[in-house]
Structure 1
Amino acid sequence: MTTTTRTLVIEREMPYPPEKIWRALTEGPLIKEWLMDNDFQPVVGHGFSFRSTPAPNWNGVIDSEVLVVEPSKKLSYTWGTMGMESVVVWTLVPTSGGTLLRMEQSGFGSDQDAAYKGATYGWNKFIGNMERVVGGLE
């Protein structure tokens, strides 16, 4: 039996250099400002967790492992929560006006429409928060 999965893709151009956005993606205190509390380290193989306020049917923890680290270019990690395993990939491409930020989260099963819609809403909000955080960096 073949399992069909979907990938969520969000792209946003930000008027900042890739190095600034990279900081927001890889420095724990900055990640906490736009996403969640964490014990992230930009080291391939590092297991870490994102932690948020628990909600009904969710303990507030997302278990992850760093898969790819290419400074100021690409970051990838697993995203495991509520029995769902997916992969998040961030890609940064310099543009004439700043950086094209691309976020892909893959692994949504055909029966996980609510999770896909929730992730779409959540990532748009988080990326907006990230842009605000990056804008405040020196």
Structure 2
Amino acid sequence: MNHDTPHQDADGTDEPGRADANPTSALAADPATTSDGGTGASDGGTGASDGTDGVGRSIELEVEVPGTPEQVWRAIATGPGISSWYVPHAVEERAGGSVELSFGPGMDGTGRVAVWEPPHRIVLDGGDGAGGLAFEWMVEARDGTSCIVRLVNSGFGSGADWDGQYDAMRDGWLIFLTNLRLHLEHFAGESATASLPMATWPGPRDAAWRRLLADLGLPADPRPGDRVATSAADAPELGGVVAATSHDHLALVVDRPTPGTAFVAAEEVGGSISVSVWTYLYGPDGALASERDDPRWREWLEARGSASERGS
């Protein structure tokens, strides 16, 4: 969900990140700081580690999700599947196939399917000679009802500029892997319409996060299992159950305006604060609600950010 400089997206292209830096920008928190009702790296949550590949640093993450390898493969390797927990994608399902994606207006990207080995391994990159980041996804059956999904995001260089991108991408992927898990737990095999509004607010981050919750009419300290809903008169309708929380975001399984998932976040990127309300709503009613509410959320976030700026 963060973005402050162009980054490589999950398909190897320059990605402004959700606001400018992540593959989400995404809504899973660091396992050490996430509250998700007892879920951690050892019992079904998101695990993370740092690595090197001999060329540069890599981000290595994993999450346990419900489903067979074939069900999980649909979620991580097809356009409708990826679009239901990450950002809108179109994937040509073969080795050498093209990939198109969008984080929103003016933030489109393209890439290549470098490796296609269903239902266990797919690698996305920018194409021959393009350089940049690569994204390897692996699916391993754990038992008859769940799988481990592993991501290796490689190609990061060294230095302060790379450090910022690395940290933002890692935080973003953690958020998105939480959303992948929620998709497979609650909506496996279904397709969602993603709405990805965001805006830049003045900091510091903790103050922006408190302000975002208050302006939405959400509780200041939401906990997993809590029922929450927007109550601000000028905010679009959004309500459901808290699935996971952290110091700068929360993940929801929603039933208002329609069934789906959502995450609300205030992330620091390059000295600015990227504030987001992203929703993934299912079925025809979800598509209609997304089309209706996306411009309303964008307007709301921009207006509240401007008001915060004037008051700071």
TM-score category, normalised to shorter length: 0.7 to 0.9
Gaps of 5+ in 1: none
1:32 aligned to which of 83, 87, 91: 83
Gaps of 5+ in 2: 1-53, 190-312
Shift, 1:27, TM fit: 2.4
**Structure whose residues are more often strand by fraction:** 1
Shift, 1:110, TM fit: 0.6
Kindly report which structure 2 residues correspond to 1:42-57, keeping only aligned pairs within 5 A, or say none: 42-53=93-104
Amino acid at match of 2:122: L
Q: Hey, what does 1:110 align to over in structure 2?
A: 158
CA contact 1:48–1:64 (8 Å) conserved in 2: yes
Shift, 1:99, TM fit: 0.8
SS of structure 2 residue aligned to 1:85:
coil
Amino acid at match of 1:127: L
SS of structure 2 residue aligned to 1:42:
coil
Shift, 1:63, TM fit: 2.5
Is 1:128 aligned with 2:178? Answer: yes
Kindly report which structure 2 residues correspond to 1:1-138, keeping only aligned pairs within 5 A, or say none: 5-53=56-104, 59-78=106-125, 85-96=132-143, 98-111=146-159, 112-135=162-185, 136-137=187-188
RMSD of aligned Cα (Å): 2.2
Shift, 1:71, TM fit: 0.7
CA contact 2:138–2:149 (8 Å) conserved in 1: yes
Of all paired residues, the percent bearing the same amino acid is 25
Amino acid at match of 1:71: P
Shift, 1:16, TM fit: 2.0
Q: Over alpha carbons, which structure has the higher Rg?
A: 2
TM-score by length of 1: 0.83
Shift, 1:48, TM fit: 1.9
Amino acid at match of 1:75: I
Q: Hey, what does 2:34 align to over in structure 1?
A: none
4+ residue runs over 4 A deviation: none
